[in-house]
Amino acid sequence: MVARAASAPRRRSLAGPFYASVPTAVLILLFIGPMLILLYYSFQESLFGQAKGWTLDNYATILTDKTYAKVMFTTVLICTTSMLLMLAIAIPLAYLLAMRLSPKIELLFLLLLVLSEELNPLIRVYAWRTILGREGVINFVLTRLGIVDQPLDILLFSSLAVVIVLSGTYVTYTTIPIYAALKAVDPVLLEAADDLGATFATRFRKILLPLAAPGIFVAIILVYIPLYSEFAAPALVGGTSGYMIGNAIQEQILEAGNRGVGAAMSFMLLILSCAIAAFGYRLGRIKRLQATA
């Protein structure tokens, strides 16, 4: 009996690592494994998927070719503008859902947000093409109201069109994490701020925004990083001015058959994503510490 009782804690201590080993193995197999394959091909001279030897030319081509620099600048500009636009929409929307609506209306709005993401992404992009085109809804309204004399071409096949489509596509994923963070805010903090005479702007800047920082960080991880790999929306509504790094990777791997350059661009994009995630985490942590200080 004593030996059996002594072995019970030992079995419990081994149970944790055993159960953790399963998701760890899946993570290694489905994430780290492909990353290592990507890293391998980024140092390979390849044509139509056939590796032909080790080389640094893939990275040298990307770092020295002005075309790739221009594409990367366009990508950063479009992604950053889209992310800022989504935050400008998501933060007030999340505040409205978390703080101002009744529970029934709040649940209805959340359900509508989730349902809006159930539509096929390609269908949404084509719907935006209908809205933004020369004979689309926006140009129709602008010409009928006399605001413009002729339809605006900038609304479609431009970087502006990519920003609009990406913002409309990912705004739900931006809103929900911020909503969750604001929902956890203790109302006593806002009541205390009211008692001290704080204005809405002060409460928002000193209390709500710092406490929503973890949600903003999660939104950046969920949205800002995937934006850099987008290629469907830029291809369908971007034109030449909305050409992004995702389109360049797709062309190098699937069309040109140059897997080495495509893998090198993908790996550099991964490094950039890690830097963005680290910056967002650091910023969110600082804001959180300021709010709790």
Number of Cβ atoms within 10 Å of the Cβ of 77: 13
User: 51 pairs with which residues across the strands?
Assistant: 46
b/e for 193-212, b at 16 or more Cβ within 10 A?
Answer: beeeebeeeebbeebbbbbb
pLDDT band at 2 (very low <50, low <70, confident <90, very high): very low
CA distances in angstroms from 244 to 3, 28, 233, listed in the order given: 65, 29, 10
Query: What pLDDT digit, counting tens, does each position of 119-166 carry?
Result: 788 888 888 998 998 888 999 999 998 888 888 888 989 999 999 999
User: If residue 167 lies in a helix (H) or strand (E), which one and from where to where?
Assistant: helix 159-183
- pLDDT above 70 for 205: yes
Which top CATH class is 52-292?
mainly alpha
Can you give the pLDDT at residue 275? 85
How far apart, in whole angstroms, are the C-alpha atoms of residue 189 and residue 284? Answer: 19
pTM: 0.83
How far apart, in whole angstroms, are the C-alpha atoms of residue 172 and residue 37? Answer: 33
Query: What pLDDT digit, counting tens, does each position of 228-279 carry?
Result: 989 989 999 998 889 999 999 999 888 888 888 999 999 898 888 888 878 7
pLDDT band at 85 (very low <50, low <70, confident <90, very high): very high
Query: What pLDDT digit, counting tens, does each position of 98-109 carry?
Result: 988 888 888 888
- pLDDT higher for 22 or 82? 82
What is the domain partition of the chain in residue ranges? 52-292
Q: Which residues contact 152 (CB under 8 A, 6 or more apart)?
A: 134, 138, 139, 142
How far apart, in whole angstroms, are the C-alpha atoms of residue 103 and residue 82? Answer: 30
pLDDT band at 289 (very low <50, low <70, confident <90, very high): low
